[in-house]
Amino acid sequence: MVARFFCWETDPFHDVRHKVAYESWPPPFIEPCDAATATAQAWAARWSEDPDFPAHPIRDHDRGGHIVLPASQDQTPGEYLEANTKPEPEPAPAALYPFAGPANIVRTPSTDSRTIAAYERSRRGLKRLNAKPPVPAYEAPTPRIKGHNPTLPRDPDIAPRFYEPDRSHPKYRRPGER
Of 7, 10, 86, 88, the closest CA to residue 44 belongs to: 7
Is residue 148, in this structure, part of any structural domain at all? no
**Total domains present in the chain:** 2
Cβ 41 vs Cβ 28: under 8 Å = yes
Is residue 74, in this structure, part of any structural domain at all? yes
Q: Buried (b) or exposed (e) across 51-89, using 16+ Cβ within 10 A?
A: eebbeebbbeeeeeeebbbbeeeeeebeebeeebeeeee
Three-state DSSP class for residue 140: coil
Q: CA dihedral defined by 105, 109, 113, 116, rounded to 10 degrees? A: -10
10 and 80 belong to one structural domain? yes
Return the percentage of the chain with pLDDT > 90, whole number.
6
pLDDT tens column, 16-75: 888 888 888 888 888 888 888 899 989 988 898 888 888 889 888 777 888 888 988 899
Domain that holds residue 120: 89-126
pTM: 0.47
pLDDT tens column, 83-120: 888 888 888 877 665 555 554 555 666 666 676 667 66
Is residue 97, in this structure, part of any structural domain at all? yes
18 and 40 belong to one structural domain? yes
47 and 118 belong to one structural domain? no
